[in-house]
């Protein structure tokens, strides 16, 4: 939206200059009667202001060359032209016969200033989306977007596969999905960081790379079915290249500690004896049935056997739900409780009207689930905007 802001500024400067020239010609009436004065007046008091307003309307109504690749928004060209024409008609029929020319330009300057402030407030609350790369994949379109919000220009890169959010990263390199932020904070608090972790469907590598920065020497295994998705993540997300050595700048690179295996997320590895203190499952990478992740008994068994004693398994990327313990999700979690010692639900604590950079999964706040084995460390009741929900009967 920077090009629109520049055109607003151009309009304000042009109308301020026109007001000054008009006032000057009023004091020097002899200049206004000459051919040169009439030509300058026609150009600077008529043509240039109209050109400035037309340039602004054109920028508001179309993407423009510098916005190629931006996801189209709501068309506003027709309403903008109608509003401008109505304002021009009202100004010409009511104000021009009763006011000096420089007064009209000052009035127009005030109106334009108010319009610029109003549109600035609207743009600050609207997410701007730009497409960085797009490919065709087995599960639909793969797309990397840059999303920006607010006058401070908070920026987020989002990786989508078939409309599902498969990864998001803040401008400074941290996770962009809030359930990943909560998992990172809870797992690395109080020196309880895991020495290894398994990320199922974690092809973006954002959470794994962020955890690798926080836990030097730890090793992580990422299982992802789509090689194209991993390639796009490596091209656009920081932390996945060999040159990234973490905060200390020494030791093994993050990539050297991230082993990527291309396979179905819930498939057993060749070395089935591996056990992990932490397993993170991105449910956006899994098939779903009725909006609920589809798990067979063999899948639950694989997850149970892959988690070591005292470990935690986090399942995120779940759609919003007002009551996670009820309905299909409740049945799904009760099935998981047959395999794990404890099931904890963390629900997002936010207002439904709060502006968000991520594409909406649903109108209800999201949640993630933590499954544990006996001896697992306790997590806080509130972490990164998520609050622990009481289980039925507690």
Judge whether 149 lies within some domain: no
Ramachandran category for residue 109: left, alpha or beta (phi over 0 → left; psi -120 to 50 → alpha): alpha
Judge whether 46 lies within some domain: yes
Q: Are residues 27 and 115 in the same domain?
A: yes
Structurally, the chain folds into a number of domains equal to: 2
Q: Are residues 20 and 117 in the same domain?
A: yes
Q: Write the DSSP assignment of 296-319 as a string of letters.
A: -HHHHHHHHHHEEEEEEEEEEEEP
Q: Are residues 195 and 118 in the same domain?
A: no
Q: Are residues 214 and 89 in the same domain?
A: no
Q: What is the pLDDT of residues 208-227, one digit of tens each?
A: 988 888 888 888 888 998 88
CA–CA dist 322, 265 (Å, integer): 28
Q: Are residues 118 and 230 in the same domain?
A: no
pTM for the model stands at: 0.69
The larger pLDDT score, comparing residue 25 to residue 18, is at 18
Judge whether 162 lies within some domain: no
Q: Are residues 116 and 258 in the same domain?
A: no
- CA-nearest of 229, 348, 218 to 284 is 229
Q: What is the pLDDT of residues 135-165, one digit of tens each?
A: 987 778 999 998 876 655 678 899 999 888 8
Judge whether 197 lies within some domain: yes
From 124, 155, 184, give the residue that closes a domain. Answer: 124
Q: How confident is the model at residue 120 (pLDDT cuts 50, 70, 90)?
A: low
Q: Are residues 255 and 341 in the same domain?
A: yes
Lowest mean pLDDT segment, chosen from 46-50, 249-253, 267-271:
249-253
- Tell me if residue 3 falls in helix, strand or coil: helix
- The answer, yes or no, to whether residue 361 has pLDDT greater than 50, is no
Q: Residue 221: which CATH number?
A: 3.40.50.150
Q: What angle do CA 196, 198, 202 make, to 5 degrees?
A: 130
CB 228 within 8 A of CB 142: yes
DSSP tag of 98: G
- Domain limits for position 349: 175-389
């Amino acid at each position: 939206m920077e090009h629109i802001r520049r055109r607003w500024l151009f309009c304000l400067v042009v109308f301020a200059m026109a007001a000054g020239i008009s006032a000057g010609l009023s004091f020097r009436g002899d200049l206004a009667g000459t051919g040169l004065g009439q030509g300058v007046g026609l150009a600077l008091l008529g043509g240039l202001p109209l050109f400035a307003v037309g340039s602004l309307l054109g920028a508001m109504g179309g993407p423009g060359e510098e916005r190629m690749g931006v996801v189209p928004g709501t068309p506003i060209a027709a309403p903008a032209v109608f509003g401008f024409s109505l304002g021009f008609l009202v100004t010409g029929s009511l104000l021009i016969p009763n006011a000096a020319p420089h007064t009209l330009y000052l009035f127009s300057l005030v109106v334009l200033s108010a319009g610029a402030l109003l549109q600035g407030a609207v743009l600050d609350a609207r997410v701007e989306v730009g497409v960085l790369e797009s490919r065709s994949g087995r599960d639909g379109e793969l797309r990397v977007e840059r999303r920006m919000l607010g006058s401070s220009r908070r920026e987020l890169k989002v990786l989508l596969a078939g409309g599902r959010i498969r990864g998001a990263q803040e401008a400074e390199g941290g996770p962009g999905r809030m359930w990943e932020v909560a998992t990172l904070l809870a797992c690395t608090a109080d020196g309880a960081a895991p020495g290894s972790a398994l990320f199922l469907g974690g092809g973006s590598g954002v959470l794994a790379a962020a955890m690798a920065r926080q836990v030097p020497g730890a090793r992580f295994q990422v299982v992802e079915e789509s090689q194209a998705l991993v390639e796009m993540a490596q091209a656009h997300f920081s932390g996945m290249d060999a040159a990234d050595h973490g905060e200390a700048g020494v030791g093994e690179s993050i990539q050297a500690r991230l082993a990527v295996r291309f396979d179905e997320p819930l498939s057993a590895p060749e070395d089935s004896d591996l056990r992990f203190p932490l397993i993170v499952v991105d449910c956006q990478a899994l098939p779903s049935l009725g909006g609920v992740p589809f798990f067979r008994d063999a899948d639950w068994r694989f997850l149970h056997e892959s988690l070591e004693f005292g470990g935690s398994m986090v399942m995120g990327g779940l759609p919003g739900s007002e009551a996670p313990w009820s309905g299909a999700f409740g049945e799904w979690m009760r099935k998981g409780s047959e395999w794990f010692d404890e099931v904890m639900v963390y629900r997002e604590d936010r207002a439904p009207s709060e502006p968000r950079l991520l594409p909406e999964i649903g109108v209800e706040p999201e949640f993630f689930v933590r499954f544990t084995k006996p001896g697992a460390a306790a997590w806080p009741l509130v972490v990164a905007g998520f609050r622990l929900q009481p289980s039925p009967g507690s």
